[in-house]
């Protein structure tokens, strides 16, 4: 049954490709903010407090009796920062990029909605890396439960359970890439469900972007860069990525003051993720902002507990479910819906 639920994960419309997502001036300003305000943490460090929370997001399973550590997870050297969140742009010089009329029109048309509001503006930055993990889903938000008040693992567990569609927000993204590398570095997604054929955007790409609904579509980044440089030595959960002080265009990975790897500009992959929340009409907007039909974390946890009991799952109800690693691990196993297995060979870690 759970594997069948995975086929529900299809975006509201096929991905739409655009070029020149940002002007040359906008791209230069975006990159300057990244260089001037780093270093930046690993995506895992920014989003997760424990390895169990990671497993809950990627439909993985924890072997019985195994206590997870970060070393077991495998730290992919991909790093993240935010340009804006909610209604606030953190850098005034980027306000034209965030409050972006072109992007707002693109996502309104993509969804067939009257209204849209910018919700998030983030970036991923990396050098040579292995494949970007198993195909995954981005963090869905629900009326009353968002990234601001709810752990990502719980939002994704709620999405995978398909129990909370009544409260699920409509979201759309414009995701752009800047990568001139010649080895990997593209984007794979499954708009026809995990059993469908993958859609690929191949590198090199400079300002190419996709309009999409990543919360309802499995996707991941391809491996990138020379194979021998994809696993920097000495990394841990505290490793950061920032400008190389000895190279005006280069970058470096650093852990507790020790440089793990130097990354030349031509091997740096820069992803810019602009996201908006959509409203079908004024009634839909009002329902969100008058909070007349919100869901809370307590209600969500209780619904998941009730559903697991109906499934005959044996467990003890935790006293603090949001911070109970065993409970998080249980949810990751119960709501493991799987994902695509037809991963194109040019995306895998051994690609050259």
> Which pLDDT band, with edges at 50, 70 and 90, does 38 fall under?
confident
> Which pLDDT band, with edges at 50, 70 and 90, does 2 fall under?
low
Cis before 155? omega within 30: no
Tell which wins on pLDDT, 245 or 352. 245
Per the CB < 8 A criterion, the answer to whether 62 and 91 are in contact is no
Q: What is the pLDDT of residues 92-106, one digit of tens each?
A: 999 999 999 999 999
Task: Calculate the average pLDDT of the chain.
Answer: 90
> Which pLDDT band, with edges at 50, 70 and 90, does 306 fall under?
very high
Structure tokens at 157: 């567990």
Q: What is d(CA 250, CA 270) in angstroms, rounded to the nearest whole number?
A: 13
Q: What is the pLDDT of residues 15-37, one digit of tens each?
A: 999 999 999 999 999 999 999 99
> Which pLDDT band, with edges at 50, 70 and 90, does 134 fall under?
confident
Domain boundaries, the chain: 2-346
Q: What is d(CA 231, CA 221) in angstroms, rounded to the nearest whole number?
A: 16
Give this prediction's pTM: 0.89
How high is the pLDDT of residue 108? 98
What is the average per-residue pLDDT within 250-268?
A: 96
Structure tokens at 17: 């490709």
Q: What is the pLDDT of residues 39-89, one digit of tens each?
A: 999 998 875 656 556 555 555 555 555 555 555 456 889 999 999 999 999
Per the CB < 8 A criterion, the answer to whether 114 and 280 are in contact is yes
pLDDT above 50 for 140: yes
What is the average per-residue pLDDT within 271-295?
A: 97
- CATH match for 2-346 among 3.40.50.300, 3.40.1390.40, 2.60.120.620, 1.20.140.10: 2.60.120.620
Strand 40-41 with 16-18, pairing: unpaired
Q: What one-character DSSP code corresponds to residue 198?
A: -
Which DSSP string corresponds to 71-133?
HHH----EEEEEEEETTEES-GGGHHHHS-HHHHHHHHHHHT-SEEEEEEEEEEEESSB---S
Q: What is d(CA 261, CA 127) in angstroms, rounded to the nearest whole number?
A: 9
How high is the pLDDT of residue 352? 40
pLDDT above 80 for 349: no
How high is the pLDDT of residue 72? 45
Q: What is d(CA 202, CA 185) in angstroms, rounded to the nearest whole number?
A: 7
Size of the chain, expressed as the number of residues it contains: 352
What is the average per-residue pLDDT within 183-194?
A: 95
Structure tokens at 11: 């975006």
């Amino acid at each position: 049954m759970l594997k069948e639920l995975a086929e529900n994960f299809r975006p509201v419309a096929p991905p739409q490709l655009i070029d020149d997502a940002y002007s040359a001036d906008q791209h230069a300003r975006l990159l300057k903010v990244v260089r001037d305000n780093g270093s930046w943490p690993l995506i895992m460090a920014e989003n997760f407090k424990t390895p169990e929370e990671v497993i809950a997001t990627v439909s993985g399973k924890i072997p019985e009796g195994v206590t997870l550590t970060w070393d077991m997870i495998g730290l992919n050297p991909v790093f993240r920062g935010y340009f804006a969140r909610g209604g606030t742009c953190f850098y005034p010089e980027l306000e034209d990029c965030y409050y972006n009329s072109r992007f707002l029109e693109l996502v309104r048309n993509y969804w067939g909605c009257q209204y849209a509001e910018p919700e998030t503006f983030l970036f991923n930055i990396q050098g040579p890396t292995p494949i970007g993990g198993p195909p995954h889903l981005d963090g869905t938000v629900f009326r009353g439960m968002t990234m601001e008040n709810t752990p990502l693992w719980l939002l994704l567990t709620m999405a995978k359970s398909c129990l909370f569609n009544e409260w699920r927000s409509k979201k759309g993204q414009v995701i752009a890439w800047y990568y001139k590398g010649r080895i990997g570095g593209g984007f794979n997604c499954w708009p026809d469900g995990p059993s469908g054929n993958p859609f690929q955007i191949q590198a090199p790409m400079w300002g190419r972007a996709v309009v999409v609904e990543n919360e309802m579509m499995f996707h991941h980044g391809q491996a990138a860069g020379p194979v021998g440089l994809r696993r920097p030595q000495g990394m841990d959960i505290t490793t950061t990525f920032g400008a190389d002080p000895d190279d005006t265009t280069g970058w470096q990975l650093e852990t507790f003051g020790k440089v793990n790897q130097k990354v030349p500009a031509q091997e740096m992959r820069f992803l810019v993720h602009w996201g908006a929340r959509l409203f079908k009409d004024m009634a839909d907007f009002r329902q969100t902002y008058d909070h007349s039909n919100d869901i809370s974390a307590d209600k969500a946890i209780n619904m998941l507990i009730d559903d697991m009991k109906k499934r005959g799952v044996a467990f003890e109800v935790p006293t603090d479910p949001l911070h109970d690693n065993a409970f998080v691990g249980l949810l990751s196993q119960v709501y493991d819906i799987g994902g695509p297995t037809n991963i194109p060979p040019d995306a895998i870690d051994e690609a050259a």
